[in-house]
Amino acid sequence: MNKAKQKSDVFQRSNIPLYIQVASTLRRRIEQGRWKLGDKISSIPELEAEFGVARITIRQAVDNLTSEGLLSAKQGKGTYVTKEPEETRWMTLEIGLSSLLQTIEDNVPKFLKVENPPSPRLGPRGGELADEYVFLRSVQLKNNSPYGLVNVHIAKSVYDMSPEDFKTRTALAVLTELPDIKIGQAHQTLIISAAEMETAHLLKVDVNTSTAEVRCVVRNDQNIAIYIAEIIYRGDCIRFDIELL
């Protein structure tokens, strides 16, 4: 089964109109920085071939984002990103590193081949970039069921300390066990979102199913970001258990 057919099948599993599902996927690409402000997005024929849906569906999806002000067509040149989605997530929930590790230490990563890995991204609290990173992408399994899609950049100097472990186990668990690593700070941000097409396919859920997106950055005692992860969890696998007093 080719990739376009796989993606089309994912769309068909949902009762949500196709153009809204495609628009949601394109919007997430802008939110995640795959298409940045001023970037030219894929053409209508390219998106039609990628998603395996009718051209009119692609046009409706692009028109939807154009009406939101996110995209703008330039005559004879293509369609460009003209605005980033507004930040609407205001509530912050905290969880400690030790409790997080307890929930993932027995999980099994199924690694995926990546031809063109993305560059690591750091926010204002991300510290400084390492000279070089190794990129790993995996679907995380628990009891043989997929629950999370993980993109992680590990500083190459850290990865080289235990490459076989990083190839077979959850990266954060391996990182915290390395005796020569001194962790200075670890910060995690979680937002509630919805599964776009590729995520839905890999996690075996419907497009626009609720997800929890986590961005986790671990810095060493020199303020170097040695671990940068972007993780998408299935919404039905997430539970918050937080002591308020």
What are 131-179's pLDDT values in tens digits?
999 999 999 888 788 888 999 999 999 999 999 999 999 999 999 999 9
Residue 86 lies in a domain: no
pLDDT at 227: 96
pLDDT at 8: 58
Output 7 or 211, whichever has higher pLDDT.
211
In the numeric block, the tokens 């009406």 are attached to: 67
Residue 70 lies in a domain: yes
Residue 242 lies in a domain: no
Beta strands in the chain (DSSP E): 71-74, 78-81, 108-111, 128-129, 133-142, 145-155, 183-194, 210-220, 224-234
Both 107 and 157 in one domain: the answer is: yes
Both 108 and 225 in one domain: the answer is: yes
| Residue % of the chain over a pLDDT of 70 | 87
Q: Which of the listed residues 81, 109, 125 is the one where a domain comes to its end?
A: 81
Both 107 and 204 in one domain: the answer is: yes
Both 104 and 58 in one domain: the answer is: no
By C-alpha distance, which of 231, 105, 229 is closest to 173? 105
The CA-atom distances, in angstroms, between 109 and each of 34, 135, 144, 149, 175 are 24, 14, 10, 9, 15
Per DSSP bridges, beta strands 128-129 and 224-234 are parallel
CB-based contacts of 58, cutoff 8 Å, min separation 6: 19, 22, 44, 47, 48, 51
Mean pLDDT of the chain: 85
* Mean pLDDT, rounded, for 110-114: 92
For residue 57, the enclosing domain spans 3-81
Q: Determine contact, residues 196/101, Cβ cutoff 8 Å.
A: no
d(CA 167, CA 139): 13
pTM of the model: 0.67
Which tens digits make up the pLDDT trace of 63-73?
999 998 999 99
* Mean pLDDT, rounded, for 179-195: 89
Both 110 and 69 in one domain: the answer is: no
pLDDT at 92: 47
